[in-house]
Structure 1
Amino acid sequence: MANEFDPVTLRHTLHQTPELSNHEALTARTIAAQLRQFGFHPATDVGGHGILVTIQGAAPGPTTLLRADFDALPIEEPGSLAYCSQHSGVMHACGHDGHTAALLAVAAELRHTPPARGTVLLAFQPAEETGEGAARMCESPALTNAQIDNVYAFHNLPGFSQHQIVVRPGTFACASTGVAIELYGKTSHAAYPERGISPASAMTGVLHTLTQLPDAYPDANSLVTLVHAQLGEPAYGVAPGQATVMATLRSDDNACFHAMKADLIDKVNTLAARAGLTVSVCWHEPFIAAENSTHHTQHVVNAAQSLGLAVHRLTEPMRWSEDVAEFLARWPGALFGIGSGEHHPQLHNPDYDFPDAILPTAKALFTALVAEHHGCITG
């Protein structure tokens, strides 16, 4: 294996041993061991279980960071694949195993043809699904003072033709966050509701506030999805004293996104105060919008066209989120998509599996981008 690297075999190995965000110790060891077989000296435990490889060119030049993620999801995988998950209740249902295998294929190429100039950083990132890993890697000592000129990452995209390259300057993927709002009053016997403090009216106000929140920001594409609501307990003899509302907020504009969050807190606090309630607002899995530079998006287009790959330009951002946005907020670059197939099973579904056919496409596009910025790569 030291001489011949098979990304498909590696991908299947990762697929068999998926690990949830912040628990990717085995996956990280597998990646680091492969990199060492290539002759690299990876930095490990970067921002958690993250791994960073520095490949120095012979001459001065720019610095380019290529990023892949490697955490999995809490989904039970059907046992239909020969290499299906061996970890009950966990599977690679988003293709991070494929993203990692593709970047390892780039590493295999770079060991033979290192950059002629500048520096290439290969970042293998944990905890993407929870929106934590990228920020932690960026804030780690290994990267906190780094001067990076170019950042590139890809996500496989079901619904697009295999090998099609999907691009968009500006926002490629939306900002999002989960929010849990807890309203605390006082329970009472249902025969004497006046002796308690019911959150029912305030809860109704919170639900209305959430559904109307995007209307205040007409210049952005924003969305609020109510995902859960509970008032009291299912007991006829008890007047409720607690309520829970959960929702997801999304926007294609980071400024709007932050304003929506602040606006929500103000309105919820006002509703709670009027009803004599205490309130708790907690944010979960926060992602900022992934914003591509026009310049780097064009680099992706140029590289794709040089390889004879079809390019699809999105007219609006993806509604899902990707925490590579944290890299892109600090350094210029582009997140792009590679089509997994028009009828390929959707992401985050138990019938999903990363299409091995696009691994060579991902490797070729990454290496073409490195060649454009650093020279020297062939094959």
Structure 2
Amino acid sequence: MLPDIAAHAPTLQAWRRDLHAHPETAFEEVRTSAFVAETLASFGVTVHRGLGGTGLVGVIEGTAPGPTIGLRADMDALPMDEETGADYRSTAPGRFHGCGHDGHTVMLLGAARHLAANPPRRGKVHLIFQPAEEVGLGAQRMIEDGLFERFPCSEVYALHTIPLYAEGTAAVRPGPTLAGIAAFEIRIDGVGGHGAAPHTTIDPLQVAARLATEISSIVGRHVDPLAPAVISLGRLSAGTAPNIIPASAELSGTIRTYDPAVEALILKKLDAICQGFALMSGCTVACTQKASCLPCVNDPRAAAAAAAAAGEVLGIGHVHTDMKPLPFSDDFALMLDQWPGAYIFLGQPGAMCHHPTFDFDDRLLPVGASILARIATRQTMEGASA
């Protein structure tokens, strides 16, 4: 770890636990954004607010022209209850930092403190604090608000802790790293009625139940077995009572792939299945795509640079560069689609992300901050990959 960052570990922990106790979900990160802006300003960092709503960018200028390195952290919490029992647990019912974004935000603040005191000799650093990663809309909103027209980058990097890797290790790979995601919703409208007279109804619940099982065959029968893909349903909603056939039903789920063409094929087959059930049943069946995100694809040279920076902090033998792509998704992919860069994982113990007992390991705060700072320093000194 960088000595000055390690020396401030207690402060980083206090910041993280404060954010953890006051979680804010997508596009509601008002308190979090204000805290970040005030903290950056206290370091002497120039702050630009209001990108994508609650997003902001801090700018650290070097002393000579050179590459611009973007470092991104996500700020939003999840709409779920916490079960950690921690003294600093969420004070907001139904909101919880169950994915570690409180830690990511503080790691970037820790890196910012170091970089503000030790600005790059060449180029500059853009500190990107993004809202609404969990709903896959924050990066797009910031980009639509002119993020990269106002703050262009030579490279962009993001770091995420995850319990899939051992504490004290990091992982980064070239090429596809995280899956793309498409969220869909299916609404089925029929004719409701009495459960004793089903022949007088057009039953949408029967269609929903059959669709729920039929959808799983799309990947198994229409996608090349060598092209990874998964389709999962997360919600089926219908009815109000056991003796009433409802007038409508809804299903929703996600598609995850590493290839946009495979995603398009699955969506096409999904729509065809819905129309087939509509013809068979007499119901109206409408499938709509609610959100989508590209896969995260790491630039090979940027991935190597990230691995080298992580190796300087953890020891090169503790950095995995042969990791397999993971089926999770992150809208940082939209930033990687515009600039070369890399998405890095830092291992931590404990429950998996999005579990009600997940808690960020505060010992990682100075580690992650040091890795981000080393990436910025190395890449401004040595030149960006593109």
TM over 0.5: yes
Q: Deviations over 1:129-163 (max 9, x none)?
A: 11111111122123246542211001001132213
Q: Which amino acid in the other structure matches residue 50 of structure 2?
A: D
Taking the aligned partners of 1:276 and 1:325, their CA distance within structure 2 comes to 40
Counterpart among 89, 98, 108 of residue 94 in structure 2: 89
Q: In the alignment, does 2:66 pair up with 1:58?
A: no
Alignment of 1:328-343 (within 5 A): 328-341=336-349
CA deviation vs aligned residue, 1:156-189 (integer Å, no higher than 9, x gap) = 0113221311112222111223322111111244
* Structure 2: runs of 5+ lacking an equivalent: 1-6
Q: Is the 8 A contact 2:84 2:357 kept in 1?
A: no
**Structure 1 SS opposite 2:376:** helix
Say how many residue pairs are matched.
371
Which of 288, 307, 320 aligns to 2:328? It is 320
Task: Give me the whole-angstrom Cα distance separating, in 1, the residues matched to 2:91 and 2:212.
Answer: 41
Matched residue, 2:233: 226
Picking from 282, 287, 302, the partner of 2:308 is 302
Look up the match of 1:24. Answer: 29
Counterpart Cα distance in 2 of 1:96 and 1:200:
38
**Among 284, 288, 294, the residue aligned to 2:294:** 288
CA distance in 1, matches of 2:156, 2:204: 48
SS of 1:58's partner is coil
RMSD after superposition: 2.3
Q: Does structure 2 conserve the Cα–Cα contact (< 8 Å) formed by 1:52 and 1:124?
A: yes
Structure 1 counterpart of 2:367: 361
Identity across aligned pairs (percent)?
Answer: 31
Q: 2:174 aligns to what?
A: 169
Q: Does 1:178 align with 2:186?
A: no
Asked if residue 258 in structure 1 is aligned to residue 253 in structure 2, the reply is: no
> What are the superposed Cα offsets for residues 207-238 of structure 1, whole Å, 9 maximum, x if unpaired?
344101212222321112233335555433x4
- Do the aligned partners of 2:302 and 2:341 also contact (CA within 8 Å) in 1? yes
State the alpha-carbon separation in 1 of the partners of residues 13 and 376 from structure 2.
22
Deviation at 1:75, TM superposition (A): 2.5
Higher helix residue share? 2
Partner of 2:281: 275
Per the TM alignment, residue 289 of structure 1 is displaced from its structure 2 partner at its CA by 1.4
Name structure 1 gaps, 5 residues minimum.
none
User: Is the contact between residue 277 and residue 285 of structure 2 (CA under 8 Å) also seen in structure 1?
Assistant: no
Is the 1:130–1:286 contact (alpha carbons within 8 Å) kept by the matching residues of 2?
no
User: Deviation at 1:240?
Assistant: 4.6
Moved more, 175-184 or 39-48: 175-184
Worse overlay, 291-300 or 169-178: 169-178
Cα offset for 1:33?
0.6
Q: CA deviation at 1:334?
A: 0.6
2:13 aligned partner: 8
- Partner of 1:65: helix, strand, or coil? strand
Judged with a 3 Å threshold, the aligned counterparts in structure 2 of structure 1 residues 75 and 314 are, in CA distance, closer, same or farther, namely farther
Residue 195 and residue 350 in structure 1: after superposition, are their counterparts in 2 closer, same or farther (change >3 A)? closer
How far apart, CA to CA, are the structure 1 residues paired with 2:40 and 2:235?
A: 44
Residue of structure 2 in register with 1:235 after alignment: 242
Which residue type is aligned with residue 64 of structure 1? I
1:239–1:70 distance in 2 versus 1, CA, 3 Å: closer
Following superposition, the deviation at residue 13 of structure 1 comes to 1.5
| SS state at 1:291 partner | strand
The alignment's TM-score, normalised by the length of structure 2, stands at 0.88
- Residue 70 of structure 1, CA deviation: 0.9
Which of 345-354 and 266-275 deviates more?
Answer: 266-275
1:126-137 matches, cutoff 5 A: 126-137=131-142
**TM-score, length of structure 1 as denominator length:** 0.90
Does the 8 Å contact 2:174/2:297 carry over to 1?
yes
Specify the SS of the correspondent of 1:59: coil
Kept after mapping to 1: 8 A contact 2:182/2:263 = no
